[in-house]
A and B are shown apart, each in its own frame.
Chain A
Amino acid sequence: MKTMKKLLANALLACIAGYAAEIRISSEPALPTANQVANGSFDGSITGWSASNGNEARIAFDDAEGRFAAGCIRLAGEEGQQVCASRYIKFDKSIPKGGNLFLRFACKKVGTDFEKAAESVSFQLSMPDGKSKFIPVPNILIEDHDWAEYESHVILDEECVGGTLSLCYNDQIGTVYFDDIEMYTGRVSLKITVSGKALEHILVRSSIDGVVLSENASGNTFDRTLDVPAFGSYCVEVMEADGRKSSQLYPANYDANVPATEHVHPLTPIRRLIFAPNSSRAEQFQFELKEVLPDKSLAMLEFDTRLMIPAESTARGGLMGHCCALKVFVNGTQLTEKNMVHPEYVVIFANGRSGKMYGNNGYTLSYSTTICPLDIENSYCPVNIGDRNPFKMKLNVSGLLKAGTNVISFLNTYPTSPIYSFDVCVENARIEIK
Chain B
Amino acid sequence: MMWKFFVMAALCSAITLAGENPYIEPKTPEKMPFSATLTPGGAVDITLDGQRYVVKADFSLRPGWAKFTEDKAEGFTAMTCTGKELTAEGSGFKLVRRIEMTDEAITVTDRITNTSSENLPLMYRQYVTIDAIKEYRLCGYRIYSSHGAGNDSINSTTIVMPEEGGSLGMLALNDVFRVHFKAFARRKSYGIGDDELVVKPGVTQEMSFALFPSRASDYYSQINAMRRYLGVNYEIPCGFTYMAPNPKGVKSLHPDYDQLGKDSTVEEIRDRLNYKSVDYVCDLAVPLLGEPHQGSAWLELCNPQLHREFHKKIREARPTVKIFHFFHCFIEFKDRLGKGFENDKCLLPNGNQADYRNPNVPLYLPIEGGKWAECKEKTLDKLKNDFGVDGIFWDEFPYSAARYHYGAPWDGVSADIDPRTHEIQRLKSSVPLITLPWRKRMVEWIADNKLMLIVNGGGAYTRTMMEFFKKNKFIAFRETGAISNLYVTHLSTPIGLADHITERNEKDCYHNIVKHLDYGCVYFYYHEQVAPFTHETITKHMFPITPIELHEGYIIGKERILTNRPGIYGFGDASEAELYFYNADGYEVERKAKAIKKDGKLYYEIALGEMESCAIVRK
Contact = CB atoms under 8 A, between A and B. Distances in A.
A93 to B, nearest CB: 46
Contact of A377 (B142, B145, B487): B145
A254 interface: no
A377 B146 contact: yes
B124 interface: no
Interface stretch (A43-51, A55-63, A128-136, A347-355): A347-355
Interface in B113-144: 137-138, 140-144
Interface stretch (A186-194, A378-386, A396-404): A378-386
B147 A115 contact: yes
A351 to B, nearest CB: 6
A359 interface: yes
Contacts of A350: 143-145
Interface centre among A351, A352, A378 (most CB of B within 10 A): A352
B502 interface: yes
A22 to B, nearest CB: 48
Nearest to B148: A351
Nearest to A384: B144
A360 interface: yes
B483 interface: yes
A301 B145 CA distance: 32
Contacts of A354: 482-484
A354 B147 CA distance: 18
Interface residues of B, number: 21
A355 B482 CA distance: 6
B415 to A, nearest CB: 25
A378 to B, nearest CB: 7
Contacts, number: 48
Contact of B484 (A114, A352, A379): A352
A376 interface: yes
B143 A351 contact: yes
Interface in B475-495: 481-485, 487
B2 interface: no
Interface string A364-395: 00000000000011110101000000000000
B186 interface: yes
A224 interface: no
Interface residues of A, number: 18
Contact of B501 (A114, A353, A359): A359
A351 B141 contact: yes
B562 to A, nearest CB: 20
Interface in B169-201: 186-187
A115 B143 contact: no
Contacts of B148: 351-352, 379
Given A114-B147, A359-B502, A352 B141 contact: yes
A5 interface: no
Interface in A312-344: none
Contacts of A377: 145-147
Given A352-B138, A359-B502, A360-B501, A378 B145 contact: yes
Contacts of A359: 501-502
A17 to B, nearest CB: 43
Contacts of A351: 141, 143-145, 148
Contact of A353 (B141, B145, B187): B141
A352 B147 contact: no
Given A115-B186, A352-B138, A352-B484, A379 B501 contact: no
Contacts of A434: none
A378 B482 CA distance: 19
A197 interface: no
A352 B502 contact: no
A360 B143 CA distance: 28
Nearest to A348: B484
Interface centre among B187, B482, B501 (most CB of A within 10 A): B482
Contacts of A355: 482
Nearest to B137: A352
Contacts of A353: 141, 482, 484-485
A355 B502 CA distance: 12
Nearest to A115: B147
A376 B146 CA distance: 8
Contacts of B501: 359-360
A429 to B, nearest CB: 27
A90 interface: no
Contacts of A381: 144-145
A376 B145 contact: yes
A389 B140 CA distance: 25
A234 B147 CA distance: 44
A378 B138 CA distance: 16
A97 interface: no
A24 interface: no
A95 B531 CA distance: 63
A379 B186 CA distance: 14
Nearest to B142: A352
A376 B484 contact: no
A376 B144 contact: yes
A275 to B, nearest CB: 24
A11 B147 CA distance: 52
B503 to A, nearest CB: 12
A352 B145 CA distance: 9
Contacts of B147: 114-115, 377
Contacts of B502: 356, 359
A350 B481 CA distance: 18
Nearest to B519: A354
Contacts of B484: 348, 352-354
A354 B141 CA distance: 9
A352 B142 CA distance: 5
B182 to A, nearest CB: 14
Nearest to B136: A352
Contacts of B481: 356
Nearest to A346: B483
Interface string B496-520: 0000011000000000000000000
Nearest to A113: B187
A166 to B, nearest CB: 27
A376 B485 CA distance: 21
A353 B483 CA distance: 8
Nearest to B499: A356
B482 A352 contact: no
B525 to A, nearest CB: 20
B420 to A, nearest CB: 15
Contacts of B485: 353
Contacts of A378: 145
A381 B146 CA distance: 13
Nearest to A355: B482
Contacts of B487: 352
A353 to B, nearest CB: 5
Contacts of B141: 351-353
A377 B146 CA distance: 6
Interface centre among B147, B186, B484 (most CB of A within 10 A): B484
Nearest to B486: A354
Contacts of B140: 352
A350 B144 CA distance: 5
A351 B150 CA distance: 9
A354 B138 CA distance: 14
A352 B144 contact: yes
Interface in B231-280: none
A379 B145 contact: yes
B567 to A, nearest CB: 23
A186 B485 CA distance: 51
Nearest to A350: B144
7 contacts: A115-B186, A350-B144, A351-B144, A352-B484, A354-B484, A377-B146, A381-B145
Given A352-B484, A379-B148, 13 more contacts: A115-B186, A115-B187, A350-B143, A351-B144, A352-B137, A352-B141, A352-B143, A352-B487, A354-B482, A354-B484, A356-B482, A377-B146, A381-B144
Interface of A: 114-115, 348, 350-356, 359-360, 376-379, 381, 383
6 residue pairs, one from A and one from B, having the closest CB atoms: A352-B141, A354-B484, A350-B144, A377-B145, A350-B145, A352-B142
